[in-house]
Structure 1
């Protein structure tokens, strides 16, 4: 039986392919998953919900207590006015992305995506029948999506823009003028701006800005996986203007019904509980980042200093050969072309691994004949 053409055009994730190569003694620097445990008060909230029998369907949009807490968070932290009725709790930020693209992208529509960028952007656009248009994120611009570069890519077929700050795989962070400029473009050209803000709290020496602060043509996507080390809970959310939410809800409702009940209770505990562990985690990520960048530069590898997320995206001649050699030394990396055509000449290291493992990995890379 033949698969649909839109599915045939999608490759399996290069990140997951590398993950599948992990051996018993390998150090995995391929996966974007914090190595920290989920904070104890969040795990306790799940136990409590389980003991109370909170194991049934919830509202398609999510439990009201969580949506009210998210409304409060969005107003106070992101300067976004979002009522609980304009928030959908999703199965991770990936679920929010899938529902958003499939609600609005039609056959032949063009969607501008960051390149290098998260692998799911291109896949979700293609599944919806659309065409991805890569916006080149350049080393010399600290991998920022600049409004003036994006303007050159807009055509009569353009329907949406996807932005991601802090960014995967580069760690790039958009400045306030960048974000406002992208929001203005969305307004001027009547485009939907899908803003993936999953790494918003993992940021170093910069400030995060949400485009929904400046425009109503924005779908804001976020989640709990990275900030609270809750990847396995598969819990995220989105907010958008009411006229967009209803259509997104249709896709969400008929694909997953609702987010997992226990995960919603965990997310509520994450928002309402202490944030000390988040700050400690970010501080440790910064320490790891500094060490990894310094070690790579000492090896003669060109590497921008990332300002967010937990990735470095160095450039080198023949990164595929480096990735292959590193694998022989039991260090798992990801070649940059896994993240789009402009990822060529780069490779990604996730420093969401212990400081000790990262030091060992740098020692092993240093021993290679580069």
Structure 2
């Protein structure tokens, strides 16, 4: 065994050198669909990732004309048909060597003759290693400037936003799933995650990589939402989940709300549907967007609905709908009205029921057809030209009834 040790060490060393050689180091503003790459190009070398057509931007003051040969897409294997190739599985320790017979773009499969049998395999599940390079036209190699920027769809990310409610506290968690669709590993250094749901990648976000903050929090500079990504290794063809932000806030208010619209022809009893609205403030900036909510019970997570947070800034009051209320129910009843046309005076009766063992806060907003000219009733107030609001507290296992009168005009 001792005589084999030098060979084993040499093998490990060569393996490490090969792995390092297959890793591309870049700086980037990573967007949700593509990335804006900044890369130092050594002499006689090309950009490491797939360059989106027309996006190459030299960052040197002077540069010679750059002629780019349209390279064959690595996903197009047609140039290797009839050759002996090796295909390696992306997911398992599995490889085949044989003659490539065909590739079907319609079905996403390829045919490989191994010994005397023909195998049909899915193209997306395998990498191809050709035994010979397909014949290319003898175009001169492009000479790139020392620093270039370009867009590439090889690198992108998806935000994962979560809210967890437990014991009067809400935990906000922002994570990032970074996608590397390139055929080589990528080492991302001193970069930015860029979030803009409706706008394309902004050039000014690229400039921010030069003055990137050392703090690990969302940055709203120049009205762009970014997050610093100091260093992360991305294996080829993988999705990597990383933690970004985790904040905890006390729930300041829990309220049950119902909204209803009543027309001039409304009659009888109208059931109300209440939703549980939670209010809290963040201690630091986070990412806006749609959040998946959970209720935590005994260490388990109960999935609830999705909710939208448009402004996720520090100290800004945030209201989210956690779920439909099972504690509060009610109905709105039209007692009488003077006319089915404007002007008219209507008498309404609101009844609220608390089915829980705790005091609950509720709010009902009624939007009406017409302009409110007069409103009378205890606990009822006008909030705009055609809407009234009733709010209050209700004791456990009890009911409340509020009657009010509203006069409407055109």
What TM-score do you get using the length of structure 1 for normalisation?
0.23
Q: Which has the higher helix share?
A: 1
Tell me which structure has the larger Cα radius of gyration.
2
What TM-score do you get using the length of structure 2 for normalisation?
0.21
Q: Which has the higher strand share?
A: 2
